[in-house]
Structure 1
Amino acid sequence: MLTLFAVNKNEDNECWALKNADYRLGFDIGFFIAHGLIFPLLMSTFGFLTICNIRRQQRYSDQQNGTSNLRRYRVRDFRRMTLVQTACTIIFILPYVIQKLHRTVTDSDCERPEEVAWERLSLCIVRVLCVDLLHAFYGLNYHFNFILYEQYRSYRFIFYFISKYNFDIICSQHLPFIVDRIIDLSLSDRENTPGQINLLLSYIPSFSQFTQLRSLSIFHLHSYNILMKIVNECHHLNHQIFNQLST
């Protein structure tokens, strides 16, 4: 079984992954059929069968006891819930399985630049959907938060044009849970993002928490004290870091 796997070095984090062979292609096709097609189809089928059964019972009950508006409203709401649940499942699962299958088919060591660009564009679209999931479902309960955070193995944060309000939300609500999976961090003290670097240091006082950080870029830094604090913290980083400083 281990001969079917190899260390995948194309990803941000090295991990055991299926080799580029017929087995991997068959696995991704099976994943696509099971999670992208069969699961939404079965869920919608059982949902509509349940609706039909409820309506059949409703007609029988109406013949016996008269029409009930409350029961009719409940059936209508259940029908809407089934439609929305099926649509959400297709929207949020299908892009991922398509992108997974696409990576298997097009994975090659000699890809042309335009192929790499299109692949990255498709990956960005999928990640945008995942980010929308984070904003939509974060904070509902502990289980939702755990599932959302487990979807990502690595993070890249580029805070050049983010507002102070959103930056503060990310640092206070999300950063403590994912700091050990950040691989790329870019900060700026420009006119539209003043005090950004110092604010981050107030939430993350020690760089020892950035256990996976590989790239650190800091722009428009005007404080010597903050610069020395960053330099002194760099020895906590485990990986070889690409540093980029600009004043």
Structure 2
Amino acid sequence: MNLEVLANELLLYQFEFITPLDLFRGFYNLNSRFNELILIHFRNYRFDFRSLSRQALKIVCQNYIPLISDKVIYLHLFDDDGTPGHTVAFFNYNISLGQFTSLKALTLFRIELHQKIDEFFSLGIQQLHHLSHLKLADCDLN
């Protein structure tokens, strides 16, 4: 079966089950229809950086986040032994929390914010008017 014969609604439903990175890798720039579906009509991006390599993080932050930051509803930033410094790297790509205007849930796990908590919140969290869930787990906020 050819995916291009499927209705847009069915494709958008299927996109719900694909990670944003895989969605872009698999469908972005295939043709103008897929680009329009990904960039304009799909509105529920969920980014979970727990298992992302440093190279994949770079690709996401440089190529995809600028295109869809206003459509991201879930963001999970995670630093651990397997992904040390991911959060710092994330923000080093000139990304601010204020870009995620549709963000509903933000989870920070094992983040070491070596700055005052008020400086972290000044990164744009006060602009997240749709944010209903903020979770800080095992974070060092000194």
Q: Could you tell me the TM-score, scaled by structure 1's length?
A: 0.46
Amino-acid identity (%): 27
- CA gap of 1:200–1:240, structure 2 versus 1, over 3 A, is same
Q: Counterparts of 1:39-118 in structure 2 under 5 Å?
A: 87-89=1-3, 93=6, 97=10
User: Looking at both structures, which has the greater relative contact order when contacts are Cα pairs under 8 Å and sequence separation is at least 6?
Assistant: 2
- Aligned partner (choices 86, 95, 101) of residue 211 of structure 1: 101
- Higher Cα Rg, which structure: 1
Give the AA of the match of 1:182: V
- Contact conserved, 2:16 with 2:44, CA < 8 A, in 1? no
Q: Counterparts of 1:140-219 in structure 2 under 5 Å?
A: 144-219=34-109
Deviation at 1:200, TM superposition (A): 1.5
Give the AA of the match of 1:224: H
- CA gap of 1:93–1:169, structure 2 versus 1, over 3 A, is same
- Contact conserved, 2:77 with 2:107, CA < 8 A, in 1? yes
**Greater mean deviation of Cα atoms: 230-239 or 219-228:** 219-228
CA-based RMSD: 3.3
Give the AA of the match of 1:127: F
Aligned twin of 2:128:
237
- Contact conserved, 1:188 with 1:220, CA < 8 A, in 2? yes
- CA gap of 1:93–1:133, structure 2 versus 1, over 3 A, is farther
Aligned twin of 2:111:
221
Give the secondary-structure state (helix, strand or coil) at the position aligned to 1:217: strand
Alpha-carbon distance in 2 for matches of 1:138, 1:196: 24
Deviation at 1:177, TM superposition (A): 0.6
Give the AA of the match of 2:103: L
Aligned residue pairs, count: 136
- Contact conserved, 1:198 with 1:226, CA < 8 A, in 2? no
Gaps of 5+ in 2: none
